[in-house]
Amino acid sequence: MKYGQLGKTGIEVSRLCVGCLSFGQPFSDSHMWTLNPEETETIVRKALDLGFTFFDTANTYSHGTSEEYLGRAIKNSVSRDKVILATKVYFNEGHLSKKAIQREIDGSLKRLNTDYVDLYIIHRFDRTTPIEETMEALDGLVKCGKVRALGASAMYGYQFYSMQVAAERNGWTKFCSMQNHYNLLYREDEREIIPLCKQEGVALTPFSPLAAGRLARVEWKSDSPRSQMDRTASQKYDGTQETDYEIVRRVHETAEKHGATMTQVAIAWHMAKGMTAPIIGATKAKYLEDAAGALELSLSAEDIAYLEEPYQPHKVVGLKTDDDPK
């Protein structure tokens, strides 16, 4: 495993992050392909063995049970100060109001069984709450020690910039990371949010680096429970399958060229693009092993150009506040 800094915070994280969307109880209005507590602990222990130190969850993943299962697994497996825990707030009553933020952080801390979280991320931009109210409330969490650093996720560049400006003008804590939707099949964030973050020294921790598995196999879909039931992924990717499949084919071709897996090529591309820590969601230990191997693969400029060449502009997805939580 390799390690890097989380923006300008001085917090060290593994260059791959374990996504915990699949941890928790199954719910028909959330996710049905979840892992129980024992399966969650198996994944967490394997991740730790591989050198992963960075874990990402959210207050609403599986109605809070993702945080519960992750907190339990961490307590049973490793000293708290050896890992970086990130969780999120937004898809809850009150969104990013001061009252909601103060209520939700306490709930997350209780479920995670910890006194603090290392990274507290706003899951979306809140159009209903004044920016100043949100940023002051978040800064208060840092000042009282419940949160070490702040991050944001899935928003337009101007929204992110406006929040950073509000924090800077008032002497409040700024965001150190951006969790955006980015992969070889969806590169719209190259237009504004990624250049902005690089300019400002903000860490990039993209979600869905494998496009919900579509960049990890030759077949567009598999017979796994998630592939069959993940409506959100289908909405994001299946409408452009006809034009995007050429990219999948080239990932496979590049993998064969390097004696690597498709997963490793797709993640190595992220590393070449300057990402800090792509988020890897895994329901089996072998998927984490596969992903970790990407850090040993170096793609040439010719490889990258070949993988990117077929891309066509896509409709922006994942930023509207009525989307499901991811």
Catalytic positions: 61
Between CA 126 and CA 215 the distance in angstroms is 31
For 151, the 3-state DSSP assignment is: strand
Helix (H) or strand (E) holding 310: none
> Hey, is 207 helix, strand or coil?
strand
d(CA 159, CA 320): 12
Q: Kindly report the backbone phi and psi dihedral angles of residue 251, in degrees, each rounded to the nearest multiple of 5, phi listed first.
A: -65, -45
Q: What is the DSSP string of 74-93?
A: HHHHS-GGGSEEEEEE-SST
Strand partners, 17: 54, 279
Is the distance from CB of 213 to CB of 184 less than 8 angstroms?
A: no
- CB within 8 Å of 111: residues ≥ 6 apart: 59, 64, 65, 67, 68, 71
Distance between CA atoms of residues 274 and 150, nearest Å? 20
CA distance 221 to 233: 11
- Check if the beta carbon of residue 172 is closer than 8 Å to that of residue 138: yes
Residue type, 242: E
- Residues 294/320, Cβ–Cβ less than 8 Å: no
Q: Any idea which residue has 């801390």 for tokens?
A: 109
- Determine the residue type at 24: G
SS3 72: helix
**Number of C-alpha atoms within 13 angstroms, CB side, residue 273?**
27
